[in-house]
Amino acid sequence: MKNEAENMEVEKLNVSLSQKEKEIEILLEKNKNLQLRNDYLEEQYQIFRAILFGRKTEKRPFEPISVLQPSLFDEPTATSETPSEIESEKTITVGNHQRKKPGRRPLPADLPRKDSRIELSEEEKHLSCGCVLVPIGEKVTEELDIIPAKIQVIRTIRVQYVRKTPEGRDYCDTCDDVGAAGAMVLAPLPPKIIPQGIVTPGLLAHVATAKYVDALPLYRQEQQFQRLGLDINRGTLSNWMLLLGDACQILIEFLFKEILAGPVINMDETPVQVFREPGRSNTTKSYMWVCRGGTPEKPCIVFQYFPTRSGAVASKLLSNYKGFLQTDGYIGYETVGEREGIIHLGCWTHVRRKFVDVLKGTKGTNKASVAKTMVDYIGELYGVEKRARAENLTPEKIVELRAVESKPILDKIKKLLDEKGPTSPPKSLLGKAIYYALNQWPRLEIFLQDGRLRLDNNLAENSIRPFAIGRKNWMFMGSPRGANAGAGLYSLIETAKANGIEPYAYLRFIFAELPKASSDDEIRALLPQHLDRARLIVA
């Protein structure tokens, strides 16, 4: 009996021990999950702190700020030197680099000058000792001035004519080329981009440039005009922009044809709020899509408004395109990127950003060490590209350079990703960064194939940035028609800027010349990348 009791007791202890072991396993697993969640939340906290309080630059967060960068809070110091006396090209050596020394630059030589001469009076020239002051030279001090904008009215005076015969009669028996007797003859007005409008190309270009280049909303422009003594309400200004958008649509069509004919298209999209969209609330997100293409010497940029971010938009825009397409990792591009005839590139800048986020959110950890190594490797890739640009290599030579120098770097990156991927929690910042890079890897290697390709999609991002900056000021677009008009004007402005043309001068020119263009060749000649700059200067 005693043995049976002992055996039962041992059995109970074994069962209890087994249960406890299971409970311990459950608790350990739970603790592990809680620790992973805690690490995840800590990373998110550090990222949000960096967003709120950290530097907004994409430079490495572990790099110190240059000692040459002036403080925003330093008090300005007065100087007796004139701009022309200060050498703007002085340099200072930091390590192996030459940098311009901070200093005031001379005023541009092409600015008009208005002289004001100051001389001593006759009494001051004659000293008490009997000596006389005689001039030996001049000391010039230059100051910047501005002439405020002013409104003027352009009067076009057309002489009216009426037919008279040599004898002085109103009616002629033989000719009928002027019309009925007594009919007046009047020279026609030149064609206008807004028919029957009272606004000149100059004022239209001023309003469009202020809104789409300087991000000045129309209601603020309305206030500016009031200060200049002119009452133009924002409704009128808005209607002008709508009419301009309609008139310039033919230019956008020609622009987009050239993008589709190019070897590479960079594509991106950004949200925008549009009111009065049929079947949608005013708070629903819409999107502005941008395509950049053409050639490096003659780039083209087109904005397109769509109510959705669906991948069907990309498929529609690129329905007739064959060539390279470079985008970020947004899933909406995958369908069109896999279509026959299109070779889809990834973006190394987006890969780098995710590892920079790891550095910001996991300082002093092993994860940060892995991220730093990745950022360094990517920096080496960009170093190769920088050298290729500095040496002005041909696309064929760039392919050879990348095969020798970039390919080994890619191999090191891939090896590191494969090693660290299985041991990195998928929801951690490092795990997400590694997964993103591995998922994009086939597209990240394509730049090796063609010297015309770039490492990143920054061209599209830089093109869309002015729109994103303007959006912070004007907040929304009033209607789908307004969004389309804005897309067209942004397209012309950003293409002009990409081709080195000042936006106001370009808009003023095409607003005057577009109504006169009647053939496809004449219209194509008005595009920024084909524009004869001599015509622009004369205009």
What is the tens place of the pLDDT at every residue in 343-371? 999 999 999 999 998 888 777 677 788 99
The pair of structure tokens assigned to 155 is 């009067």
pTM of the full predicted structure?
Answer: 0.79
308 — pLDDT class (breaks 50, 70, 90)? very high
Q: Distance between CA atoms of 45 and 438, rounded to whole angstroms?
A: 26
Q: Is the dihedral of CA 426, 427, 431, 435 positive or negative?
A: positive
CA 408 to chain centre: 33
Give, in order, the Cα–Cα distances in Å from 465 to each of 114, 307, 458, 536: 39, 19, 10, 27
**Which residues on adjacent β-strands are paired with residue 224?**
none
Listed in order, strand segments (DSSP E) in 182-338 are 184-186, 264-273, 285-294, 299-306, 323-326
Residue with tokens 């800027």: 497
Distance in angstroms (rounded) separating the CA atoms of residues 245 and 74: 46
CA 287 to chain centre: 15
Closest CA to 381 of 358, 355, 401: 401
Task: State pLDDT tens for residues 42-94.
Answer: 667 666 666 666 666 666 554 444 434 444 444 444 443 433 433 444 555 65
CB-count burial class (<10 Å; 0-12, 13-18, 19+) for 341:
exposed
Torsion of CA 273, 274, 275, 280, to 10 degrees: -90
CA distance linking residue 505 with residue 209, whole number of Å: 10
The pLDDT of residue 107: 85
Answer with the residue of higher pLDDT: 454 or 25: 454
pLDDT at position 237? 95
DSSP state of 104: P
Q: Which residues contact 221 (CB under 8 A, 6 or more apart)?
A: 207, 210, 211, 234, 237
DSSP-based helix, strand, coil % in the chain, nearest 5: 50, 10, 40
Using alpha carbons, select from 302, 339, 333, 345 the residue that is nearest to residue 452: 345
Strand partners, 160: 186
Q: What pLDDT, on a 0 to 100 scale, did the predictor assign at position 70?
A: 47
Burial of 218 (0-12, 13-18, 19+ CB in 10 A): buried
Q: Which tokens hold the place of 336? A: 């069109």
442 three-class SS:
helix
Q: How confident is the model at residue 79, as a pLDDT? A: 41
Structure tokens belonging to residue 288? 């502005």
Answer with the residue of higher pLDDT: 177 or 466: 466
The predicted pLDDT at position 507 comes to: 97
The continuous run of DSSP H or E covering 115 comes out as none
pLDDT at 381: 96
Please state the φ and ψ torsions of residue 262, each to the nearest 5 degrees: -80, 170
Q: What is the pLDDT of residue 58?
A: 63
Residues 196-255 have pLDDT tens digits of: 888 999 999 999 999 999 999 999 999 999 998 889 999 999 999 999 999 999 999 999
| Average pLDDT of span 453-463 | 94
Residue 498 in this model has a pLDDT that exceeds 70? yes
pLDDT of residue 174: 60
Tell me what pLDDT residue 439 has.
93
Residue 196's pLDDT is what?
Answer: 85
Encoded tokens for 362: 């996991």
pLDDT at 8 over 90: no
Residue among 518, 487, 51 nearest 290 (CA): 487
β-bridge mates for residue 287, sequence order: 271, 306
Q: Whole-angstrom Cα distance, residue 513 to residue 532? A: 13
User: How high is the pLDDT of residue 77?
Assistant: 43
Q: Is the pLDDT of residue 315 over 60?
A: yes
Q: What does the radius of gyration of the chain's CA atoms come to, in whole angstroms?
A: 34
**% the chain with pLDDT above 90:** 51
pLDDT-derived band at 529, boundaries 50, 70, 90: very high
How large a percentage of the chain has pLDDT more than 70? 81
At 28 the pLDDT is 78
Q: How far apart are CA 503 and CA 219, in angstroms?
A: 21
Across the range 9-30, mean pLDDT stands at: 75
Higher pLDDT, 300 or 89: 300
Cα 170 → chain centroid: 65
Take residue 47 and report the two structure tokens written for it: 């990222």
89-93, 319-323, 403-407: lowest mean pLDDT where? 89-93
Strands 184-186, 299-306: parallel, antiparallel or unpaired by DSSP?
A: unpaired
